Amino acid sequence: MKAIIIYNTRSGNTELLGNKIKELMENQGIACEIYRDKAIKNTPNIVEPFDILCLGSCTHANGPAFFTFRGLLKKIAKLDLTDKKLLCFATAGDKTNWSKTCDYIKKRLSQMEYLGNVGCVRRNIEDALPEIERILSTLS
């Protein structure tokens, strides 16, 4: 099984969460690649060989970051995503808001098998660990 992690970050919090997801997936034997959204914004079909897409963003205006990330979501949604699984992740300033960003991503990619939402406030990544572990346990 192979996973790709794509994230948007402004101050590094969401990148930290993406890296933690990568570490835990690799610990479980899932090969993982991680990219910042702006690095692949013109090559959305990079996701095609992967079984699991982990898409994450910081929260801006109670949703994912504008322009690059939201634009990339639209491009990915047009691809053939048959048999691919989706993990949504986000960070936010308020504990009630990261799930809104995840739900935005889930809604745009509703054709995919949904694994779950993972998130935390700013850099409190330890709060996200139980849900990452739960999702990983469903993959083995």
Contact between 59 and ligand FMN by CB under 6 A: the answer reads yes
Q: How far is the CB of 51 from ligand FMN (least distance, A)?
A: 25
- Span near ligand FMN by CB under 6 A; candidates 21-29, 33-41, 66-74, 86-94: 86-94
**Binding mask of the shown chain, residues 3 to 42, with x at each position contacting ligand FMN by CB under 6 A:** ------xxxxxx----------------------------
For 11, other C-beta atoms within 10 Å of its C-beta total: 10
**Most distant CA pair in the chain: distance in Å?**
36
Per CB under 6 A, the list member of 50, 55, 122, 135 interacting with ligand FMN is 122
130 near ligand FMN (CB under 6 A) = no
Q: Of 9 and 117, which CB lies nearer to ligand FMN in the complex structure?
A: 9
Tell me if 117 contacts ligand FMN by CB under 6 A.
no
- Residue 12 CB, shortest distance to ligand FMN, in Å, is 5
Q: Show the 3-state SS of the chain.
A: CEEEEEEECCCCHHHHHHHHHHHHHHHCCCEEEEEEHHHHCCCHHHHCCCCEEEEEEEEECCEECCCHHHHHHHHHHCCCCCCCEEEEEEEECCCCCHHHHHHHHHHHCCCCEEEEEEEEECCCHHHHHHHHHHHHHHHC
x-or-dash pattern for ligand FMN, window 96-115, by CB under 6 A?
A: -x------------------
CA–CA gap between residue 129 and residue 133 (Å, rounded) = 6
Q: Which residues bind ligand FMN (CB under 6 A)?
A: 9-14, 58-62, 91-94, 97, 122
